[in-house]
Amino acid sequence: MEAYRSQIILGSVALYMLMCIGVGLWAMRRTKDAHDFFMAGRSLGIFVTSVAVFSSTMSGFGFVGGPGLVYQMGMSSIWMVVCTAIGFALSFHLIATRIRLFAELRDSISLPDAVGSRYRSRSVSFWAAVAILLGVIGYLAAQIRAMATVLKNLLDDILGGYVSETGVPLEVCVAVSCAVLVFYCVTGGIIAGVYTDVVQGVMMVVAAILVCWAAMSAVDGGFRGMSETLVQDDPATISPWGTMGILGSLSWYFVFALGGAGQPHVVTKMMMTKKVSDIRLMLPLSIIGYSFTALLWISIGLAMRALVLQGHHPDLVHADSAAPQFLQSYTNPLLAGLVFAGLLAAIMSTADSFLNIGAAAVVHDIPRAVRGESLGNELFWARTATVLIAVFASLFSLYAGERMVALLGAFGWGTFAAALVPTVAIGFNWKRATPLAANVAIITSLVVNFGVKFFQVQLPWGFDVGALSLLLSLVLFVSISLLSRTPKLDDDIEAVMEL
C-alpha cells in the first residue's frame, strides 16, 4: 500500500471533488430564486446548520497554518482554539436568535440587509457590504492559493517529472480547484455550500480524531512524552503563553473569542434555520464539532516539534510543512488520503461561504444601498457574480504578489471582528446603538487594519494589532452611542429588540 501512497491520496481527493460536483447538481434543482441561492430558503435543519457553522469557522488555516504555528511557537497559538467554548457561547448568546428573527421579519437575504433594517440606514448597510467584499476577496484569494498549493504538491508527486522541471504549473492547479468550487457554488448556491459543508465537516472531524491518535502513537509516551521533550528543550514553549508571551497570547484570545460573533460567513448561516427554536441545540453541536477538528491543530504541531527535537525527524525548513510532512511520514496512506481530502474540505467549506456572501454584496447589498433596490433577475446576476468573484480572486492570488494577498488576507478575521462585532453583535441587542456609531466602527476597522498591515507596524510584547483595532472600534461604538440621542427605530424592529 505504501508504494501507492501518492495515488491513494490523489484518488481520495478526486473522489471528494466528484462528490462536490454531485452535490452541486443535486442542489441546482432546489435553487429556484435568490432567496434559495443566498438563504437556502431558510429551511435548514439543526444538524446541517451546526456542521455548516463549525466547518466554515475552521478554514484551511486551521489544518495547515495551525499546526505550523504550534510547531513554531508552542502553545501561544492554541489560545485561538482554547477560546472555542466561550467564542461560540458569545456568538450564540448575542447573535444567533436575534439575527434569525430579523431575517424572518424583514425577509433579509444577507447580513448587510439585516444591518440596514436594524439601523434604518443605507450607509451602514453599504459600509458593511464594502467591508465584507474587501475581506471576501482577500480571504478567498488566500484560500484559493492554499487549495492550489495542496493540489500542486499532490500532482507533482505523480506527474511532476512528466510535465516540466518545476512540476505542474500553479495556474493549472488554480484552474482545476476553482472550477470545482465555482461549479457547485454557481449551480447550487448556498444550498450546495451547506450540504458540501456537512460532508466536509464530518470528514474533518473523522480525520482530526484519527490524526490525533496517530500523533500520540508517533511519539513515545504520547502527549506526556511530547510535553517532557519540550520542557527539556525550552519550558516556555509548553507553558500556557508559549514563546509569544502572556500579552500576545491573550490578545489572540480576545480577537478569536469575540471575533467569531463578527464573521459574516458564519453569522449568515445562523439566518438559515427552519425554526428559531433549532438554534438551541446548534450551540453544543458546533462546539463539539469544532473542538474535535482542533485536535489536529494541537496534536500535529506538538508531535512534530517533539519528533524534530528528539532527532527522529529531519529539521523543517518551513513551519507550515509540519502537517504535510507528518501525514506523509507517520500516517497510513488511507488516512493521509482522508486528511488531504479533509484539508481541501476545510478550505472549500470556507471559500464557498465567502463566494456566496461576496456575490450577495455585489448583486444585492451594494446596489440596494446606493440606488434603493437590488439588481433585477437576481438569481442570474448572483450566479454571474459568483463566477466573476472567483475569477478575480484567482487572478489576484496568482498575480498580485504574496504581500498583497497576505495584506488583504489579513483583512479576514480581524477586520470582520472589528467591523461587525460592535455593529451586529452589540448593536442588534442594544436599541441605543446609532448608525453613526456603526459607520465609525466599520470605517475604523478598515483603516486601522489596512493601515497597520500596510505600514507593517508591530506592537510591543507581541500584542496583536487585530485586538487593538477591535478594542478601538468597540470603545468608539459604545461611547458614540451613549453620547448620541436615542435613534428612532422602525416599530417592528423595535418590537423585536424588546423581545
192-231 positions binding another protein, by CB under 8 A: 222-224, 227, 231
Instruction: Figure out which of the listed residues 39, 357, 390, 468 binds another protein, where binding follows CB under 8 A.
Output: 468
Per the CB < 8 A criterion, the answer to whether 285 and 37 are in contact is no
| CA distance linking residue 297 with residue 254, whole number of Å | 19
Query: Is 285 near another protein (CB under 8 A)?
Result: no
| Nearest distance, CB of residue 498 and another protein, angstroms | 5
| Nearest distance, CB of residue 72 and another protein, angstroms | 6
C-alpha cell at 417: 471582528
Instruction: Figure out which of the listed residues 163, 391, 457, 475 binds another protein, where binding follows CB under 8 A.
Output: 475
Which amino acid, one-letter code, is at 218?
Answer: A
Helix 46-57 and helix 279-309, axial crossing angle in degrees, nearest 10? 40
Instruction: Figure out which of the listed residues 159, 316, 395, 407 binds another protein, where binding follows CB under 8 A.
Output: 316
Positions in 409-428 near another protein (CB under 8 A)? 425-426
Total of residues contacting another protein (CB under 8 A): 89
Helix 279-309 and helix 66-73, axial crossing angle in degrees, nearest 10? 50
Query: Is 319 near another protein (CB under 8 A)?
Result: yes
Q: What is the DSSP string of 111-175?
A: HHHHHHHHHT-HHHHHHHHHHHHHHHHHHHHHHHHHHHHHHHHHHHHHHHHHH-TT-S-HHHHHH
| Nearest distance, CB of residue 392 and another protein, angstroms | 33
Q: Closer to another protein at the Cβ: 81 or 168? A: 81
| CA distance linking residue 57 with residue 190, whole number of Å | 16
Query: Is 309 near another protein (CB under 8 A)?
Result: yes
Stretch touching another protein by CB under 8 A, among 157-165, 326-334, 445-453, 474-482: 474-482
| CA distance linking residue 475 with residue 244, whole number of Å | 26
Stretch touching another protein by CB under 8 A, among 66-74, 177-185, 356-364, 435-443: 66-74
| Nearest distance, CB of residue 207 and another protein, angstroms | 21
Query: Is 71 near another protein (CB under 8 A)?
Result: yes
Query: Is 250 near another protein (CB under 8 A)?
Result: yes
Task: Give bridge partners of residue 44 from the DSSP assignment.
Answer: 273
Query: Is 373 near another protein (CB under 8 A)?
Result: no
Instruction: Figure out which of the listed residues 19, 73, 205, 296 binds another protein, where binding follows CB under 8 A.
Output: 73
Per the CB < 8 A criterion, the answer to whether 302 and 215 are in contact is yes
Stretch touching another protein by CB under 8 A, among 128-136, 154-162, 248-256, 437-445: 248-256
Query: Is 459 near another protein (CB under 8 A)?
Result: yes
| Nearest distance, CB of residue 283 and another protein, angstroms | 6
Which residue from 356, 5, 1 is spatially nearest to 196, judged by alpha carbons? 356
| Nearest distance, CB of residue 74 and another protein, angstroms | 8
Per the CB < 8 A criterion, the answer to whether 291 and 283 are in contact is no
Stretch touching another protein by CB under 8 A, among 145-153, 302-310, 402-410, 411-419: 302-310
Stretch touching another protein by CB under 8 A, among 20-28, 201-209, 245-253, 265-273: 245-253
| Nearest distance, CB of residue 356 and another protein, angstroms | 25
Which residue from 240, 211, 236 is spatially nearest to 304, judged by alpha carbons? 211
Q: In degrees, to the nearest 5, what angle opens at C-alpha 83 toward C-alphas 263 and 136?
A: 20
Which amino acid, one-letter code, is at 30?
Answer: R
Q: Closer to another protein at the Cβ: 414 or 462? A: 462
| Nearest distance, CB of residue 227 and another protein, angstroms | 5
Task: Give bridge partners of residue 273 from the DSSP assignment.
Answer: 44
Q: Closer to another protein at the Cβ: 2 or 491? A: 491
| Contacts with 132 (C-beta within 8 Å, 6 or more apart), sequence order | 111, 112, 264, 357, 358, 361, 365, 416
Query: Is 354 near another protein (CB under 8 A)?
Result: no
Positions in 80-139 near another protein (CB under 8 A)? 82, 84-86, 88-90, 92-95, 97-98, 101, 104-106
Does the CA dihedral 329-331-334-338 come out positive or negative?
Answer: negative
| CA distance linking residue 399 with residue 404, whole number of Å | 9
